């Protein structure tokens, strides 16, 4: 099996390469940042991709964004996503486009060699491999929250809005343009059902909705 890896942690990346080659697979490319992922996938067109969710430069959702884009540009590409923690919204967005050839595992599973290799092979065979903890989160998550309809990026924008950040600051924090932030905020307003009665008023209502449906630590 020809595999593309995307992992910024050098130790884990080299461990994955060694693990996969020892199992008879070929690692054709190893990306170390988000912008490197799609070019590697398009150049090598592997049998499967193993992608970390959070990659440089922002360590937010580069790996997930690449996984979603890869599924659009290379239909049917098997993708196994690795994450340090259970990130429910990311798993949900990834599975929304169809679960065939999709896997979502916690990085701890990599240490369980047989389990990890079995998951990758199932994904490559157009199957599904979901971490048990991810399944638990998806089954027990609150389905009545208006925030459920938001994408991970829209949630991030709303979270920063709740921290009293203006659009320019949000754009800087997320490494995107202000135009992109404006679009995300518009989507948040639309999905939360907030009428166009003044953007300032809607912004306050959106933040209140976020606070009401987000556990406070």
**The two three-digit tokens of residue 69, written as one number:** 């884009």
> What is the pairing mode between strands 102-106 and 79-83?
parallel
**Amino acid 40: pLDDT:** 96
Q: Tell me the per-residue pLDDT of 139-149, one tens digit each, with 9 for 90 and over.
A: 555 456 788 88
**For residue 192, how many C-alpha atoms fall within 13 Å in the half-sphere facing its CB?**
26
Q: Kindly list the domain boundaries of the chain, sorted by start residue.
A: 2-140, 146-212
Average pLDDT over residues 3-19: 95
- The model's confidence at residue 127, banded by pLDDT at 50, 70 and 90, is confident
- CATH of 2-140 given 3.30.70.600, 3.40.50.150, 3.40.50.2300, 3.40.50.300: 3.40.50.2300
CATH number of the 146-212 domain: 1.10.10.10
User: DSSP labels for the chain?
Assistant: -EEEEE-S-HHHHHHHHHHHHHTT-EEEEEE-SHHHHHHHHHHH--SEEEEESS-TTTTSSHHHHHHHHHHHHSTT--EEEEESS--HHHHHHHHHT--TTEEEEEGGGGGSHHHHHHHHHHHHTT-EEE-HHHHHHHHHS-SS-GGGGS-HHHHHHHHHHHTT--HHHHHHHHTS-HHHHHHHHHHHHHHTT--SS-HHHHHHHHHHHHHHTS---
Average pLDDT over residues 173-186: 93
Question: In the predicted model, is pLDDT for residue 78 greater than 70?
Answer: yes
**Amino acid 213: pLDDT:** 77
CA distance 86 to 104: 9
């Amino acid at each position: 099996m020809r595999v593309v890896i995307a992992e910024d942690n050098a130790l884990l990346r080299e461990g994955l390469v060694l693990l996969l080659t020892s199992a008879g697979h070929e690692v054709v490319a190893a990306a170390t940042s988000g912008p490197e992922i799609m070019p590697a996938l398009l150049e090598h067109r592997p049998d499967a991709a193993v992608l970390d969710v959070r990659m440089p430069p922002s360590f937010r959702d580069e790996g997930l964004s690449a996984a979603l884009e890869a599924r659009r540009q290379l239909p049917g590409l098997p993708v196994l996503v690795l994450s340090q923690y259970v990130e429910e919204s990311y798993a949900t967005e990834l599975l929304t486009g169809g679960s065939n050839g999709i896997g979502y595992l916690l990085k701890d599973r990599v240490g369980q060699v047989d389990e990890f290799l079995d998951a990758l092979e199932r994904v490559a065979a157009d199957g599904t491999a979901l971490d048990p903890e991810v399944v638990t989160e998806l089954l027990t998550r609150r389905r009545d929250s208006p925030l459920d309809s938001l994408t991970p990026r829209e949630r991030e924008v709303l979270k920063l809005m709740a921290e009293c950040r203006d659009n320019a600051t949000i754009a800087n924090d997320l490494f995107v343009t202000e135009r992109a932030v404006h679009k995300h905020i518009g989507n948040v307003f639309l999905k939360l059902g907030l009428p166009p009665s003044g953007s300032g008023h809607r912004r306050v209502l959106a933040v209140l909705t976020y606070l009401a449906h987000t556990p406070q630590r």
